[in-house]
Structure 1
Amino acid sequence: MTASVEDLARLVVDCGFRLHQNLGPGLLESAYEAILADQLARRGIIVERQKPIPIRYDGVELAEGFRADLLLNGQLLVELKSVERLSPLHSKQVLTYLRLLDLPLGVLINFGGATFKEGVRRIANGDLGR
């Protein structure tokens, strides 16, 4: 399936909403990740789980400095949480991953909140028109 990053973002939010609606809060993050990855793959999306994110600095490279929860079609980062409420640190984490992977957009989803809407954030890395 060929989709723009915006199409992917809409799809992941829709699938995440349905997942939260049907299962509710309280599961482990890994359970939401596995189910969401399956739901997206069934829609023809290339899903990479626990994608290594290398860090390069001053001649040193750490091949697996971080791990992104999901990378969709090589162009949209999805970071999942299952906590009572998101903190500013979670958004900074996603922005760091976007910068390291040179991606324009990420979606942060928290499945731990009472409502789905309070736990969804779009995080842009600079100009989305690039």
Structure 2
Amino acid sequence: MSEDFLTKGIIGVAIEVHTTLGPGLLENAYKECLYYKLCKEGFHVEKEKIMPLVFEEVKLDCGYRIDLLVEDRIVIELKSVVALNDVHLAQTLTYMKLGNYKHGLLMNFNVFRLKEGIRRIVNGY
């Protein structure tokens, strides 16, 4: 399954979750519901995947955790904020770099239409 096809499927499921719940909930509520729904749809999903930092050949657990990792390829970082900003993008890019993942989705569920709160990220690590 291509990353583009996979990403479109994830976005479709996220839109279903957002349509049902609407904006205004805590990030964790969206994460749990999206995790449940993606698993129900047959996706392989890891929740709160620990991402160690490698420094001088030592793996350090610094508390980095990917919200959701789908099919071992797509990093999903969820937010429920007034607006996405550069720090949110940097956080997502950091997870992608640490795990050597090329594709990511930064999703802000605190919007009227989820489509307006999604940023697709492709990086050449």
TM-score interval, smaller chain = over 0.9
Quote the sequence identity (%): 40
Structure 1 contact 77–106 (Cα < 8 Å) conserved:
yes
4+ residue runs of structure 1 moved beyond 3 angstroms?
Answer: none
Q: Which 5+ residue runs of structure 2 have no aligned equivalent?
A: none
Shift of 1:61: 2.1
The aligned counterpart of 2:51 is 53
The aligned counterpart of 1:31 is 29
Equivalent positions of 1:58-69 (< 5 A) are: 58-69=56-67
Secondary structure at the counterpart of residue 72 of structure 2: coil
The aligned counterpart of 1:122 is 120
Deviations 1:29-75 (A, max 9, x none): 11111111111111111110000001011233213540000001111
Does structure 1 residue 97 correspond to structure 2 residue 95?
A: yes
Secondary structure at the counterpart of residue 69 of structure 1: strand
The letter for the 1-side match of 2:12 is D
Moved more, 100-109 or 62-71: 62-71
Structure 1 contact 95–124 (Cα < 8 Å) conserved:
no
With structure 1 as the length reference, what TM-score do the two structures score? Answer: 0.89
Q: How many residues align?
A: 125
Q: Distance in 1 between matches of 2:62 and 2:71?
A: 20
The letter for the 1-side match of 2:9 is L
Q: Which 5+ residue runs of structure 1 have no aligned equivalent?
A: none
- From 15, 32, 35, give the equivalent of 1:17: 15
With structure 2 as the length reference, what TM-score do the two structures score? Answer: 0.92
Q: Could you say what the CA RMSD is over the residues aligned between the two structures, in angstroms? A: 1.4
The aligned counterpart of 2:2 is 4
